[in-house]
Amino acid sequence: MKLIRLYCACALLFSFTTLTHAATKQPNILFIFSDDHAYSAISAYGDSRKLNATPNIDRLATEGMIFHRAMVPNSICGPSRACVLTGKYSHANGFYDNNRGVFDGSQQTMPKLLHAAGYQTAVVGKWHLVTNPTGFDYWDILPGQGIYYNPPMIRMGEKVKRDGYTTDIITDLSIDWLKKRDKTKPFLLMAQHKAPHREWSPNLKYLGWNGGRKFVEPETLFDNYAGRGKAEHEQDMTLEKTFTPLDAKLRPPPGINDEQLKAWNAYYEPRNEEFRKTNPQGKDLVRWRYQRYMHDYLGTVMSVDESVGKLLKYLDEEGLAENTIVVYSADQGFYLGEHGWFDKRWIFEESLRTPLLVRWPGKTKPGSSNKDIVSNIDFASTFLEAAGQPIPGDIQGRSLVPILTGKTPTDWRKSFYYHYYEFPGAHSVQRHYGVVTDRYKLVHFYEPGVDYWEMFDIQKDPQEMRSVYGQPDYAATQKDLHAELKRLRNELKVPDPDPAVTRPQKKKEHTEAKRVE
């Protein structure tokens, strides 16, 4: 009888130990990050124009949670990546803008903390932080912006040249690393795409993907910026004035080889010849550019969506899906012709908001939707808590784990601070900062000679066409927003004046258009 009791006790202990280990097992983390992916170009977000279909990204919404108010603190490529790595605003991590930024790789980062907690870590694809990655067991990155065809890359400090389409290459390298990883450890893989960044060169197999279908134009395609200030009038990011021959595919992309160029020219040249023959002007030219832009931009998104599908398939086939958190996001939003613009940078909705979809089996309810104000500065805290690790006190973002498990904290943020620094620079968007709530935005453009305030009621004016700053009906709200903005700047310890102003600046003519060439 004693032996039976002892056997039962041992069995119960073994069962309890096994269950406890399963419950505390650190999840793998697959972080898929694209560049300049507008939420309106993900079909799960339900844009009224119905621009494209993204079935693989949509799968994450079906099997996890889609976020509708995910925001970035600084809508520009390099700084956004620094925010992800550190969980801190630009002024706290030291990387303010692409022109002057050099990331300090010696500082505390989320990959370093996860590595110390036993994770195997890797980053593949676009890095765009000038210095080499730190905190990773493996890294294989594009130099600078990277190119779409036959990209040079840097693998663990060694320069290598690869043949093919960049999105496909990043996907294959990511899966290769997963196959070769140490399978006794949990992993953090950051698969980071160049696409759909400018100049939006599609994979050859997706040329003509839309079958000649005309894309619905945004209502604000011919916005004249009435009702807003000097900064909006003096920007340089319009389809009308800023769209280059490279953007328009009147020139082939850099890096493309002779064989690829034949297929490229077979599609574009007859259409380019027709364009030259008709020679559209004025609004007709803008409309032509918009259609070309949508074909190309959305064509690059098709490859990104395909990449997501391949990665999810690998997780399924290897039995990894149930213990892997999959995150899809982008470094910021992007303009798809709204207000006549492409690019990002502004505090306005199209660039402020970024797509965010998260699948966490067993934790996040499938098909759930969230409208809390969240941000990419929250990713570091989220991954650390999911891994059972403490969150350092100097991280400014908060963990999304409670939200992902359906329990938004009662003290979750009701406002959000935004700050853009890159001026002078590409597209001439003036420096500005502001506060965002569920309904309002208060914005301060503070460049000398362009010093003014704006306020928007995004409930009544969702396209942000007219500032209501100074209007009597909004006086009380305006006062509250000023107080909240002051509180946030104090809480976040935002320096005044900007440290970025005192740093050496590159030549003004070093524009985004020239960098991508």
Q: Tell me, what's the pLDDT at 509?
A: 30
Q: Tell me, what's the pLDDT at 499?
A: 80
Query: Two tokens at 400?
Result: 């999304």
Phi/psi at 287 (nearest 5 deg)?
A: -65, -40
Neighbours of 265 (CB within 10 A): 13
CB 385 within 8 A of CB 26: no
- At 18, is the secondary structure helix, strand, or coil? helix
Query: Two tokens at 80?
Result: 């956004």
Distance CA 422, CA 427 (A): 10
Q: Tell me, what's the pLDDT at 500?
A: 52
If the chain, 517 residues long, is cut into consecutive pieces of 10 residues, what is the mean pLDDT of each piece? 42 37 75 98 97 98 98 98 98 94 96 98 98 98 97 98 98 98 98 98 98 97 98 97 98 98 98 98 98 98 98 98 98 98 98 98 98 98 98 98 98 98 95 98 95 98 98 98 98 89 38 29
State the CATH architecture for 26-516.
Answer: 3-Layer(aba) Sandwich (3.40)
Q: Tell me, what's the pLDDT at 6?
A: 41
CB 44 within 8 A of CB 58: yes
CB 62 within 8 A of CB 361: no
Radius of gyration of the chain (CA): 24
Length of the chain: 517
Neighbours of 449 (CB within 10 A): 6
Q: Tell me, what's the pLDDT at 415?
A: 98
Distance CA 462, CA 352 (A): 13
Interhelix angle 166-180/282-317, nearest 10 degrees: 20
Whole-model pTM: value is: 0.93
Per DSSP, helices labelled H in 110-150 are: 110-116
Distance CA 255, CA 264 (A): 13
Burial class (CB in 10 A: 0-12, 13-18, 19+), 386: buried
